[in-house]
Amino acid sequence: MSADYGYLNTLRNVITNTTNIQNITQNNSSYKLSNIGESRGMNNNASNNVKFMYENRKQFGNFVNLTANYTNQFTSSENESTTNVFKNDSTAISTAINRNRSTTVSDNLNMFGFIRSNDAGQLQDPRKNFMLFFNGGYNNSSSNSNTVSRFLSYIDTIPSDLIDRRYNTLNRNYNASLTLNYDGFKSLIFGIYNFFNIDVSLANDISISRSELDSRVADLDTLNNLYSTNDLLTNNNILTNFFYKPGLTFRKSINKSVWEKYNYWFSIGVELKYQFLNQKNESSFLFRNIDRNFTAFTPNLNMNFSYNKNNAYRINSYLWANMQQTPASIDQLYPLVDSTNRYNIIAGNPNLKASTNTYSNWNFDISRAKMNTKSNYSASIGINYNNTANAVSDNLVYDSSGRSIRYLINVDNQRAVSGNFSTRFSTNLTKLSNLNFSYRLNLSTNERPGFINSVSSTSTNNSISNNLSATYSLIDKFNITIGETIATNRSEQRSSSRISSVIRNYTTSGNINYFITKELTLNTSLNYQNNIAANGNSVKVNIWNANAVYRFMQQKAELKLSAFDLLRQNKNITNFVRENAATTTITNGLQQYFMVTFSYYPRKFGGVTAPAHRHRVAPL
């Protein structure tokens, strides 16, 4: 048994600048919307966490594991934000100003574990081979918040307004799940027959979740200066999901080994599962009351291959593919629209169909496995493919002030393909020095069909990243590493015309370790980052870190002094593209701070070395 207790208190002052550029096609013409946002937020979070773990292992008893985790958390926050929208970079068309204050208290309890049949029992009777996983949890949260939202339109036909809204929300969530894998199913059905050496397992997954929401919303009546109930948002809602997935798993393995020549292992597994889902929503709004059932065949395939040629090379490869069905959520079918969300309003669609996702992943790697060689190499390649049939997409409709309404629709397919390639080469220059090179390439592309202002529009996002580094090491003296990363994200929107936007990121890095003595090590690193947004604006940052490490007490104790961001330039920069928009977000980060760390590494615990003639070793 083990138990842990932790207390955490954080206070964050966050300043964020966001630039969002959207390409719009309307009435056979195109224009650009630029959303320039600034926000400041103060967040205070305090939490208590208790964790308990119990394990019981016996040779002739089942293996039991149980873990429980409880967290109590209090959060308060204050946020202010301003968003200005420009058409074609020059014409100001609207401004939104929001202020929000909130407090939240939550309790979260989660329990999970498993029971597994013991090894001795499996050998005596394979029919006793099973594994049972279980999980359960409860979450209760209560929050109070106030939002003041002012919208200013510079277009005569769009009125400006002010909303002062209070929220009082109570949310309770329950969940429980069981997974039973019965590997003794083959022995139970076929007895002593080996069924072509194919392992057969019975699988059952069952889970239930329940979410209870009590939301009270009130708006300020400026005539009498009182808050009155907002009947469009005040509601009670209970969502219950019951999930059951039975199935059979077939697995066959083949292996062969020739002494001092080669060995290989191949395994293929097929899971034949069927998914049953019942979704029931009970709401104080009658139009949100639904009771739906879904069924789908959800197979899974996995293949593994390993080959080792003695004193030459190793090869490993695996392939994994599965299928999953996901129904539309209640908030996609019948959303409750909050008008304080000024620029992105979701309009539901009760006719949305369930989406079917097919995912596959293939990896292959090869490495040299030759002893007493001067040079070594390794290489790997990976490919991911994801296709969603009946995917939920958008028909984005914009008004003249830059606001958009997302009308959700089903499209035939959404596709995403990604791949990576990496290689590493190292060689010994002398007995005391070596040189290492590494290169990694990442590629991805995804296609998302949809509509903009009711005109068919397909968005394609492509990204490519190249990373190259070289390291020179002089053993027991120093090592130096230099590297370069170049990443590009391109978004192209195809409708009546083609519009594209590009985001680029460049990073040059250097790192030096100098071993003055066996006890004292100095390190310094410098990263130069240049982030170029879709509008051409460039943000350049130099991050310089340094530390000194001193080990003593026969290398058991370590004292480390670290200095971070000595030039005070640290910023958190995020660039991404999606659909018809490219977004750059810059958030303040912790700048120039110092840390002192003491660590102790005991080499052995308890026990005393036994006499040498008994050939025992002290426990570690």
**pLDDT band for position 611 (50/70/90)?**
very low
Average pLDDT over residues 427-447: 94
Q: Is the torsion defined by CA of 599, 605, 606, 609 positive or negative? A: negative
Average pLDDT over residues 52-61: 84
State the DSSP code for 400: T
Are the C-beta atoms of residues 32 and 23 closer than 8 Å to each other?
yes
Average pLDDT over residues 39-63: 90
State the DSSP code for 429: S
Are the C-beta atoms of residues 64 and 56 closer than 8 Å to each other?
yes
Which pair of tokens denotes residue 34?
Answer: 């630029």
CA distance 363 to 140: 42
CA distance 518 to 555: 9
| φ and ψ of 261, to 5 deg | -125, -65
The 10 Å Cβ neighbour count of residue 456 is 14
Question: Which contiguous run of DSSP H or E holds residue 618?
Answer: none
Q: Is the torsion defined by CA of 596, 601, 606, 610 positive or negative? A: negative
Percent of the chain beyond pLDDT 70? 95
C-alpha distance from residue 614 to each of 259, 543, 610, 617 (Å): 35, 57, 7, 9
Query: Is pLDDT above 80 for 499?
Result: no
Q: What is the DSSP string of 441-486?
A: EEEEEEEEEEEETTEEEEEEEEEEEEEEEEEEEETTTEEEEEEEEE
Query: Is pLDDT above 70 for 84?
Result: yes
Is the model more confident about 381 or about 60? 381
Average pLDDT over residues 495-511: 86
CA distance 148 to 131: 53
pLDDT digits (tens, 9 = 90+) for 162-176: 999 999 999 999 999
pLDDT of residue 172: 97
CA distance 234 to 252: 56
C-alpha distance from residue 306 to each of 178, 185, 269, 312, 361 (Å): 33, 28, 15, 14, 17
Which pair of tokens denotes residue 460?
Answer: 């394609």
Query: Is pLDDT above 80 for 221?
Result: yes
Question: Which contiguous run of DSSP H or E holds residue 117?
Answer: none
Query: Is pLDDT above 60 for 614?
Result: no
CA distance 216 to 239: 18
Are the C-beta atoms of residues 399 and 352 closer than 8 Å to each other?
no
Place of tokens 């007493």: 372
**pLDDT band for position 121 (50/70/90)?**
low
Are the C-beta atoms of residues 18 and 37 closer than 8 Å to each other?
yes
404-428 and 375-398: which strand pairing? Answer: antiparallel
Query: Is pLDDT above 50 for 488?
Result: yes
Average pLDDT over residues 62-87: 95
Furthest CA-CA distance within the chain: 98
Q: What is the DSSP string of 86-143?
A: EETTTEEEEEEEEEEEEEEEEEEEEEEEEEE--HHHHHH-GGG-EEEEEEEEEEEEEE
pLDDT digits (tens, 9 = 90+) for 562-576: 999 999 998 888 877
pLDDT of residue 126: 73
**pLDDT band for position 603 (50/70/90)?**
low
Q: Which residues of 96-105 are buried (b: 16+ CB within 10 A; e: fewer)?
A: bbbebebebe
Which pair of tokens denotes residue 617?
Answer: 């070793």
CA angle 230, 329, 214 (to 5 degrees): 35
Query: Is pLDDT above 90 for 148?
Result: yes
* 44-53, 352-361, 393-402, 412-421: least confident range: 393-402
Are the C-beta atoms of residues 434 and 428 closer than 8 Å to each other?
yes
For residue 28, the SS3 value is coil
SS (H, E, C) 401-419: CCCEEEEEEEEEEEEEEEE
Any idea where the domains of the chain sit in the sequence?
Answer: 1-193
Query: Is pLDDT above 50 for 620?
Result: no
